Amino acid sequence: MGQRKPTVIKSFLEEKTLLYNNTSFIETDPVSIPHLFSKKEDIEISGFLTATIAWGQRTTILKNARTLMDLMDDSPHEFITGFSQKDLKRFQHFVHRTFNGVDCICFVKSLRNIYLHHGSLEKVFLRGIGKTDTDLGNAITEARKIFFDLHHPKRSEKHFSNPVAGSAAKRINMYLRWMIRKDNCGVDLGIWKSISPSLLSCPLDVHSGRVARKLGLLKRKQNDWKATQELTAQLRKMDPIDPVKYDFALFGLGVFEKFR
């Protein structure tokens, strides 16, 4: 093993990335929802809401994300910028695990505030990037502050993770991967051209964390923001330009192959 181990691990992850980073991956994954749209604003809004509820069974995530799109008349941007108070009643009975109608209405209102007063989700995240930042932790935190700038139920805050509070922010990192990464494989949409993929952090959950620890890429035991940074630092050694492409490998190994 010795000096060869990092090279062996990189080759292994490159192989698995190629296996899972292709269009056959899309159909059963939450990324399939933003792929339904062609308008930039529709893609980023549908992606954000889908990523927000992307925990639990994948079939349930897709079903409920599809319901959200139906509730917005399959035109997320047009709905977000033009809904009336009466239109919000349609979300009252929406439920995905702990994300309920109250949270849904809060998120719809916050998104309208962003698109009417801050330009777009891309601009909100871009604004939070510092000149010396090596990841998007500060950008996520600043975007979150703007998102909850309006009066809102306190309970809804838990559905937008905060790296400053120590959260691994798995779902928001997954969303940022969808929006920022662009390759020829067709999974990630890459519609945000103003943010470098090198700043992305690997979405860390129980599956990718377990695989990363087995491969010696992660020593920290908790799946928190420090662990996210530790893992991504190791992935940057393999590919400093596009480190989170290896998320496909870690996810596939953990979920599909039950890697031991």
Domain residue spans of the chain: 2-256
Give every residue of the chain whose pLDDT is below 70, as ranges: 1-4, 260
| Backbone torsion region of residue 166, taken as left when φ is above 0, otherwise alpha when ψ lies between -120 and 50, otherwise beta | left
State the pLDDT at residue 257: 84
Task: Give the pLDDT of residue 3.
Answer: 42
pTM over 0.85: yes
Residue 1: per-residue pLDDT: 38
3-state helix, strand, coil split of the chain in percent (to 5) is 65, 0, 35
